Structure 1
Amino acid sequence: MTLSYMPGFGNDFETETLPGSLPQGRNSPQRPAYGLYAEQLSGSPFTAPRGANERSWLYRIRPSVKHHRRFRRAEFPNWKTAPNMGDHELALGQYRWDPPPMPSEPTDFLQGMRTMTTAGDALGQSGMASHIYLANRSMTDDHFFNADAEMLVVAQTGRIRFVTEMGIIELVPGEIAVLPRGLMFRVEVPDGEARGYVCENYGAKFTLPNRGPIGANCLANPRDFKTPVAWFEDKETPCRIVVKWCGSFHVTEIGHSPLDVVAWHGNYAPYKYDLSTFSPVGAILFDHPDPSIFTVLTAPSGEEGTANVDFVIFPPRWLVAEDTFRPPWYHRNVMSEFMGLIRGRYDAKETGFVPGGMSLHNMMLAHGPDAEGFEKASRAELKPVKLEDTMAFMFETRFPQMLTRYAADLETLQEDYIDCWSRLKKRFNGTPEGDWS
């Protein structure tokens, strides 16, 4: 059972596992029911404007100060944090990768995190990182929270379950989850293995984009976002907590599960979204709109209209525009684009870009349809066509995305990707018709 959630809009929700465990009329009673502890988890400064002020009250078996015993350093060498400069010797370029192989050894979500790009500066709370995750083992008594960023998770193959201190979220391929900064959770892989993508957002929290002239409906609708109901475990066994803080990792050991929140209320919570519920809009006569019309969530920067990160999808949809080159046009962009494919084919790259794969087109580096896609779209009969069984996405940021050594050395890097444009012909011949022979 889940609750509707409007991310970033200040809505309050309440949920309890035991009757009367959620106080009524006050946040911090002198003696909460069931001997619980009241604790606030804040996702914004206390003095943030009402519409941007995010916090939740948690009523838990033990306060989280009991989680902070003596820490020691931990190493996750494939998980990088911005700034991460000069990590490799690969020259500038447009890049594409086939899916990376699943690890042969037991690997949980944290161990299987592989950073592809970093952008901005986590210490300055700006920018992001693009990761893939490869997991074939559940986290049983290990738990994690990220003090650097919120995490947007895109499931690509295999179910993945986030058992959080505020409830349980399970994703199937084609769904996403957003895990707020500081949220405690562990990750399970019910199908034995799972692969997907993660955007680690160091900056302002993801929210719904303004619709402008589109009006009140379409794109991602608030009612389709879901938060979990309260769930807890009262388990007194040795557990570990891993913390990511300013790009480094720290671990501590405690004698009980930290997932002991019996009730909570507020507006700072994890949530999930099924990408199939996105309602796309597009051109219904001619020309090709900007891809921003497919924005699901945006993390704003200090400059209006220029995102710290946009999460954009390219879902199934009808193409009906007349006298129009229908795939994405060739372009250069001030934004940097990391793309992934969840399923099917992407209409601008019908070969070479496969589910589980990735591409990177950095700021001001030209890109667009490959030669095969250009030829097909330029000669196609322009009748209504429905793109089906497809779902691509993009993490787009105002910052240049720096490749990691892992990405540069990944064996699935397509060395010949740049050649996909080599067969584009010169068609100018001085006549209005051009040379289409």
Structure 2
Amino acid sequence: MAGLKYLTGFGSEFASEDPRCPGALPEGQNNPQVCPYGLYAEQLSGSAFTCPRPTNKRSWLYRILPSVRHKPFTPMKCEDLTESWNEVEPDPNQLRWLPFTIPKASEKKVDFVAGLHTVCGAGDSKSRNGIAIHVYACNTSMIDSCFQNSDGDFLIVPQQGEILITTEFGKMMVEPNEICVIQQGMRFTVDVFGETRGYILEVYGAHFELPDLGPIGANGLANPRDFLVPVAWYEDRQVNGYTIVNKYQGKLFSCQQDFSPFNVVAWHGNYTPYKYNLESFMVINCVAFDHADPSIFTVLTAKSTRPGVAIADFVIFPPRWGVADRTFRPPYYHRNCMSEFMGLIKGHYEAKEEGFQPGGGSLHSMMTPHGPDAECFEKNSTAVLKPERVAEGTMAFMFESSFSMAVTKWGLETCQRLDKSYYKCWEPLKSHFNPNWKPTNK
């Protein structure tokens, strides 16, 4: 979008100042006695002060007024945003949701915060170890209000409608087939341009990072240079009752102040919001036989303290070439010690071309079996294997977690989008067992 500028790279040290105030960044130190232009210096820390340098996350913000100047926080109604994982009894079944409903503006105006709904999750924000999966469905922009998540990071996946996100660091336009990450404590507001829907992966106690590449080498998957960071932009605006909404320990609180929080004239550091276009993902795939594990499609990971085990992975299934020989090419039947929530941004998912729709979702819980439906199995068991494009015009994704996730009451009951016939897609599977089978030369 015209007027929006970005810095490139992932995890880098950046410096940016609004061109209207050249020299706003102090030289030679972070916290001078008097900042240029009479600004206040404020540090935003995303890690402990004593973290090793490679994992130390912080940025310095130079702002017109510090964020501390606000009225006290008071509780506000959470609606369907929750961290209560015991609202309903556990359900180990395969679950699938039809596209989540977007409210009509003619009936009720709903902004991003009011349109947040928690589908499932696990863990605890107070102990800084956990995950939550939300959807957002809204139809109007946030007005004189912003959101701050004190519990964790938001990975936002738009599915319908572009969103203009204004942050303390600058502005980002994020469209379907792009993602953005708003890290813990960063304030932001969301403008929409009609009916808007998407998915959110929230993690407590860890930040998203690029996965290790191992034997792949230096290049492949998501490359650091393709991530975009906003440049500094400020507004010096007095507001009669600007609202800060704070998600804290799974609850919502609000406070009032009389100025816009987006008054950062300059900033520098490595703790920033960022966005990424999923079309930039460099796919690694099978070129001989068999089927790679879905981990080969990981875009971002939030690591746990156990080596090789993630609190959450963000995985995509992008358009690619399928060339594996002597192989059942779609995803294999599977039981897993991870929880897998899938969403669809556009198109049709190769393993379930009917029923799994853009704007909907599915959850295959820990050790619950899942895999291609009967139609997909029969078609691909007899297909002539030749090089072909897979998932052309589609984009499915997966939020995978080592946590055993609980589904909320909203997800199971209130939203009324649960597809109770999901299990039937496997019922036509039949036995092909032949005790007299003999191997052939082929």
Give TM-score, length-normalised by structure 1.
Answer: 0.96
Task: After TM superposition, list the pairs within 5 Å mapping 1:41-52 onto structure 2.
Answer: 41-52=44-55
Q: Is contact 1:203-1:308 (8 Å) kept?
A: no
**1:130-177, CA deviations, whole angstroms, 9 ceiling, x for partnerless residues?**
111001010110111000011000011101111001100111110000
**Residue 86 (structure 1) shift:** 2.6
Which of 396, 401, 409 is 1:397 aligned to?
A: 401
How many residue pairs match? The answer is 427
* 2:20 is the counterpart of 1:15: no
Q: Which runs of structure 1 show a deviation greater than 2 angstroms over 4 or more consecutive aligned residues?
A: 88-92, 431-434
Query: What amino acid maps onto 1:95 in structure 2?
Result: L
* 2:7 is the counterpart of 1:3: yes
Distance 2:436 2:159 in 1: 48
Distance 2:436 2:25 in 1: 76
**1:252-293, CA deviations, whole angstroms, 9 ceiling, x for partnerless residues?**
111111110000000000000000000111110101011000
Q: Is contact 2:92-2:368 (8 Å) kept?
A: no
**Residue 71 (structure 1) shift:** 1.7
Gaps in structure 1 of 5+ consecutive residues: none
Task: After TM superposition, list the pairs within 5 Å mapping 1:173-252 onto structure 2.
Answer: 173-189=176-192, 191-238=193-240, 239-252=242-255
Q: Is contact 1:76-1:110 (8 Å) kept?
A: no
Match of 2:355 in 1: 352
Secondary structure in 1 matching 2:381: helix
Distance 1:292 1:145 in 2: 31
Which of 427, 431, 435 is 2:432 aligned to?
A: 427
Match of 1:99 in 2: 99
Secondary structure in 1 matching 2:239: coil
Q: Is contact 2:328-2:380 (8 Å) kept?
A: yes
Distance 1:143 1:369 in 2: 42
Q: Is contact 1:325-1:377 (8 Å) kept?
A: yes
Secondary structure in 1 matching 2:68: helix
Q: Is contact 1:90-1:408 (8 Å) kept?
A: no
Query: What amino acid maps onto 2:187 in structure 1?
Result: M
Q: Is contact 2:221-2:299 (8 Å) kept?
A: yes
Query: What amino acid maps onto 2:8 in structure 1?
Result: S
Query: What amino acid maps onto 1:223 in structure 2?
Result: R
**1:155-205, CA deviations, whole angstroms, 9 ceiling, x for partnerless residues?**
11101111001100111110000001000111110x222100000111310
**Residue 92 (structure 1) shift:** 2.7
Match of 1:72 in 2: 74
Percent identical pairs in the alignment equals 52
Secondary structure in 2 matching 1:324: coil
Q: Is contact 1:127-1:397 (8 Å) kept?
A: no
Secondary structure in 1 matching 2:238: coil
Distance 2:245 2:215 in 1: 45
Distance 1:100 1:155 in 2: 13
**Residue 433 (structure 1) shift:** 5.9
Distance 1:91 1:404 in 2: 10
Distance 1:234 1:140 in 2: 16
Q: Please, what is the CA RMSD of the aligned residues?
A: 1.1
Match of 2:369 in 1: 366
Which of 52, 56, 61 is 1:53 aligned to?
A: 56
Distance 2:189 2:26 in 1: 27
Match of 1:294 in 2: 297
**Residue 89 (structure 1) shift:** 4.6
Query: What amino acid maps onto 2:416 in structure 1?
Result: E
